[in-house]
Structures are given as structure tokens and as C-alpha cells.
Structure 1
Amino acid sequence: MSAFLDVFATLVQRLAELLQPLLASAATAAAIVLFTALVRLAVHPLSRAAARGQQARTRIAPQLAALRKRYAKNPERLKKAIMDLHAKEKVSPFAGILPSLFQAPAFLLMYHLFTGDRMAGHTLLAAPLGDSWTDALADGGPFGPAGRVHLAVLALTAAVAVVNYRRTKRQLAEQPLDLGQPTPGAGAVTKVMPLLSFATLVTVAVVPLAAALYVLTSTAWTVAERAFLFRAESGSGSRSAPAEGGPATRA
């Protein structure tokens, strides 16, 4: 992992040098934001595959519910019927899961890069990129020079979390969580899931500022990307769907 971190650190440093004439001391912070965006752009095809997988599972959800009701007392028949439906509709039950897993290594490397000593000596305004909010509180308090920078990042993170909370809550209302079978506590899970959007606030509050910028940028990208992908996929689906009562359009 050290070799990858060295490569990433070099790339961030090069970006910071390019931005230095325009942003002066904030160049490294801007390089972190830009580099995070570039990494997210590189894995965008995986995110698009994940969105398509979720759309596909949503599309066949009513049929799955009907099968579960029909074969509720025959688990083996239900299992076969679900497999046949997936094969007929060309939908993988794992669609959208594996692509997301491939993003984890890149994000793990990014996180380690921005929480290491490589950020020592770099600042965003008056806040060292290697210091956390706790450090800022001990050095000037919440409204000190460094504290204000951390508060601004926390405020932006909170705004993104609110948008994500509302989107998740709306999506679960329109498309209830399907756990595969009736599960005790499913309603509680549905209520808790939107609240997980605010977990990023805890992360941003405890990690160094460099990592907080990464979390903020990546989370904002995720919210914007999912809004775009699901709007695009829904629009594509509505255009390709046949009119009610009419024949399906063939390519």
C-alpha cells in the first residue's frame, strides 16, 4: 500500500504545484478536492452499472413480491421461480453490488493518504490540513482562525447530508426496502437508513482536515451522481417502455 500512497501523494503534489499560482496557500486543499473528483470520475462507469442494477431490481420488485406471496409455503419452488425470473429478465441478483465493492480499494488508499503525515506543513487558510477539529478547538476555539475553517467544512457536510437524507427518505417511500422476504424490524431499518446520511458529520469532525475535504468532496459527488444517474435511467426507462395497451417497441 505504501507504494500506491507514494504515487497518489506525488500526483496530489503535482496538482498543488499547478494550482499554486492561482490559489497560493490553498493549492494543496484544492488539489485534494480536484484529485478526489478525478478518482470519482474514473470509477463513474462502476457507479453507472450499480445504478442500472438497482433500477433493474426495482423494475422486477412487483413480480418478486407476487412470487413470494404465491409460493410462501414452498421455499424450494420460490427459489426456482425467482431464479427463472432473474434469467428471463436478464437481471443479476448481485447487480450493483460488485461494482461498488471495486471502488473500496481506491477510496481506502485516498483515506490513508489524507490522514497520514504527508499533509504536514500544508494549510487551508489558517487551518493545518493535518489537524482535526479537536486540534482546532484546542488552538483558538470553534471561532478561532482554524476553527472557522473546520466549521465551514462541517456546515457544507451538513448541507450535503440533508440533501442525501431527503433523497433517501423519498426513495424509500417510493420504493420500499426489499430484504428478500418478510423480515422483523424491516420498518425500523427503513426509518434508520436515511439518518445514516449524517454519519459523515461524525467522520468530518474527527479526521484531519485533509481527510475531511476528501469525505466532503466524495459525499457531495455521490449525492449529485446518484441524482443524475437515477434521473437518466428513469428517463431512459420511460422512453423505452411501451404505451399501456400497445405493443412493445422492438429495436
Structure 2
Amino acid sequence: MDITTLPGLSTLLHAGTTLVTTLTDLLTPVAGTAAAALAVVLLTLAVRLLLVPLAVLQVRAERDRRRLAPRIAELRRRAGTDTARFQRSLQALYTSERVSPLAGCLPVLAQAPVVSLLYTLFTHASIDGTVNTLLRATLAGIPLAQSAVTVVTSPLWVHGWVVLLLLAVLAVVVELTRRAQLHGNPAPASQSGDPAVSGATAMTGIARWMPFVSVGFAAIAPLAAALYVVTSAVWTLGERAVLRRVLRERAAVGLA
């Protein structure tokens, strides 16, 4: 079964194909063979610009969690090993303080459909029975439909430096973003013998590596989708720094 023929999805895919193709045609006189890749980058920037309001909510939620950290630590201490009690107390605290624990996930969730769309556009030879010309697009000799793994394990390996550079940039940006997040939300000091805090420490250890899942995805996804992920990650790093500074300045004058 060809999923690109499903009602609704075929319309969305046609719209996505038209958008990327039109941008590519407009950019070709300037970017040449890299026009399609540049179109994906510009599409990413447009999406991230539209999601700035959600990013503001995300940074505000981050600030609120930092403000509530001492109270959360006290709730954890009182609950001890009773996880259900701690979760109820935490939810009550968030409700009373009007803090959404899901705000930090909104930008990622909002981008998921776009990444899925790009993934589909660059992995199907035809869209609803029509030949998919986007599969001909390349960047530095690499088809945007090929993944980093495929490139380095095929005759295209001579161009492998391109995808390896992208993955390296993504890994560095993810780490810088993680460190900035940790700096803005320091983990509570652990107390010896406190099983609740020990559990939180274990979760922190898992969270240490979770952001790098995006690097793994970029390695196996079509280059077009990887370009989106890398561009979005770079945007996130800069956006967070700017928004944190703006909110601090607004808070200093009593506006935030």
C-alpha cells in the first residue's frame, strides 16, 4: 500500500512538494545545485520563526521550574519513596503556580509533523502516483534522499565529509544546548541515603544522553531531514540564549 495516496496525506504531500520545488526553482539562479538544500534550510527557519511564541513559553516554564526547585525538592523529601504522593503534590504545585510541565515539549512536538513530511517527501519515488522530482536534488554530490549511513557505506563515501561534518556540528550544538539547559536548571544537591533523590539522579543520567538521539536520527534519515534537524538545533541554541536574556531583563524591570 502506498501511503502517499491516503486521503488528506496525499494533499499534504503535494503541498509540501510544491512548496519545496517552488523554493528550489527560485533559489536555483543563486544557489545552483544546492538550491533544494537551501530551500530546506529556509523552510526550517520559517517554521522556527512561527514557533517563537512556543519557545517563549518553553523558556518561561524553564524559569518557573528553576524558581520552584527548592519547593519541589521539599516535596520530594516529604514524599520519600512514595512516588504517587510526590507526583500528586507536584501536580498540585504546578496547578497553583500556573506552570505547565508540558511547555518544554511544545516546540519539539510542533515540529514533528514537518520532519515527518520531509522524511516522506525524500523517501518515496512517487507522490500519489506522480514522479517525485525532489529525489534528484543533491548537496555537494550527495542526493538529499540518501542518509549519512548510506553515504559512508556506498561509492558516495568520497563525499562523506559533508554528512560527517553535519553530524559533528549537530553533536556539538546538542551538547552546548544541554549545558546551557543545565546551567539554567541546576540539579538539586543530592543527600546520601535519600532514595528519591537517588532516583532523580538516575533519571538525570538518562537525560544526559537523550538529546543525542537527534544525532542518531540525523544519521539514518534522508539528508534533507538531517538538514532540518541540524538547522533547527542551531536555531534552538541561539534562540534560547536570546530569550533567556530578554526574560531576565524584563523580570529585572518587573515586566515578565
TM-score range, shorter chain: 0.7 to 0.9
Structure 2: distance between partners of 1:37 and 1:208: 19
- Contact 2:24-2:39 at 8 Å conserved across structures: yes
Map of 1:123 onto structure 2 = 138
Q: Show the counterpart of 2:3.
A: none
- Which has the higher relative contact order, 1 or 2, with Cα contacts under 8 A spaced 6 or more apart? 2
Q: Identify which of 26, 31, 46 aligns with 2:39.
A: 31
Instruction: Find the counterpart in structure 2 of residue 187 from structure 1.
Output: 201
The percent of aligned pairs where both chains have the same amino acid is 37
Counting only pairs closer than 5 Å after superposition, residues 1-251 of structure 1 correspond to structure 2 as 1-69=9-77, 85-97=93-105, 100-117=108-125, 118=132, 119-140=134-155, 142=157, 144=158, 146-147=159-160, 151-169=161-179, 171-172=181-182, 174-176=185-187, 182=196, 184-240=198-254
CA apart distance, 1:14: 0.7
Distance 2:100 2:89 in 1: 14
- TM-score, normalisation: structure 1: 0.76
Query: Shift in Å at residue 121 of structure 1?
Result: 1.4
Structure 1 segments of 4+ aligned residues over 6 angstroms from their partners: 73-81
Q: How many residues align?
A: 235
TM superposition shift of 1:7: 0.5
Deviation, 1:220, is: 1.8
Say which SS state the counterpart of residue 115 (structure 1) adopts. Answer: coil
AA partner of residue 175 (structure 2) = Y
Rounded Cα–Cα distance in structure 1 between residues aligned with 2:115 and 2:188? 26
Provide the rounded CA distance (Å) in 2 between the counterparts of 1:36 and 1:84. 37
Question: Any gaps of 5 or more consecutive residues in structure 2?
Answer: 1-8, 126-131, 190-194
Residues in 2 aligned to 1:44 and 1:216: alpha-carbon distance in whole angstroms = 17
TM-score by length of 2: 0.74
Residues in 2 aligned to 1:81 and 1:193: alpha-carbon distance in whole angstroms: 23
